[in-house]
Amino acid sequence: MAVIKFASREVICKIVYYGPGRSGKTTSIKYLYSRIPNNRKSDMISLATKEDRTLFFDFLPLELGNFKGFKARLQIYTVPGQVIYDSTRKLVLRGADGVVFVADSQEERFDDNRWSWENMMENLEESSIVIGDLPIVFEYNKRDLEHITPIEKLDTQLNFDDCPFFPTIATQGKGVIPAFKTIGVLVLKRIKDRLGEK
């Protein structure tokens, strides 16, 4: 849940990139990081294994400027997708204000996407996050590869609440920024409602 500091007029929001291992979560936020002016971001922390998989999380604090009289900041995390890191995923997901679920479009990864989605639902429930109230955006990633699952099938099997979705190619940055802007707008709308703005 966003931290609203009325004394300092500051709002801190947390967005988590979730999905199976090697689906493109880290690649997505690395692309975002490369597109943000240096004066609007701090260093990105990335902890990875020698296979270049995210081991713990990536953290990207991003200054947004003035929002309804408050200074708004987004903190962007990714979770490790590998099955063995469930406790880390739970920890990173705790307090999330929004989620970008990055699905791997390759046909052979379809079951991995389903498993990761179900794992996220369980972890949200354990964290007492009301799933229906949490803004979620989908990236259907790796759309440039052969043997990919049709978007309609991905959307039917994963997107039960008709959340916004974007076909993406994270290695090229295609669709990554629109997905990020959409989750940002949805999160800030919820904050605006909490601040009593009409």
Terminal C-alpha separation, the chain: 20
Q: Which class for 190: exposed (0-12), middle (13-18), buried (19 or more C-beta within 10 A)?
A: middle
Rounded Cα distance, 72 and 153, in Å: 36
Provide the β-strand partners of residue 16.
Answer: 77, 99
Whole-number pLDDT of residue 55: 45
Which pLDDT score is estimated for 63? 79
Burial label for 133, CB within 10 Å (0-12, 13-18, 19+), is exposed
> What pLDDT, on the 0 to 100 scale, is given for residue 198?
39
Residue 184 pLDDT > 60: yes
User: What pLDDT, on a 0 to 100 scale, did the predictor assign at position 51?
Assistant: 56
Query: Does any domain span residue 174?
Result: yes
Asked whether residue 112 is domain-assigned, the answer is yes
Mean pLDDT, the chain, rounded, equals 88
Range of the domain at 103: 3-187
Do 40 and 34 touch, CB atoms closer than 8 A?
no
Mean pLDDT of 133-143: 97
192 in any annotated domain: no
How does pLDDT run across 150-177, given as a tens digit for each residue?
999 999 999 999 999 999 999 999 999 9
**Beta-ladder partners of 61:** 75
pLDDT digits (tens, 9 = 90+) for 82-99: 777 788 889 889 999 999
- What pLDDT is attached to residue 53? 56
11 Cβ contact partners less than 8 Å away, ≥ 6 residues apart? 2, 3, 4, 5, 67, 70, 71, 72, 73, 191, 195
43 located within any domain? yes
How many helices, marked H, and strands, marked E, lie in the chain?
5, 8
Q: Are 29 and 173 in contact (CB under 8 A)?
A: no
Neighbours of 126 (CB within 10 A): 11
Q: With pLDDT > 70 as the criterion, what percentage of the chain qualifies?
A: 92
Give percent of the chain above pLDDT 90. Answer: 57
CATH code where residue 56 lies: 3.40.50.300
Tally of domains within the chain: 1
Residue 193 belongs to some domain of the structure: no
The residue-averaged pLDDT of 117-137 equals 92
Distance CA 27, CA 31 (A): 6
Mean pLDDT (whole number) for 138-157: 97
Rounded to two decimals, the pTM is: 0.91
Beta bridge partners of 74: 13, 62
Residue 133 lies in a domain: yes
Q: Distance between CA 193 and CA 191 in Å, rounded?
A: 5
Res 58 pLDDT > 70: no
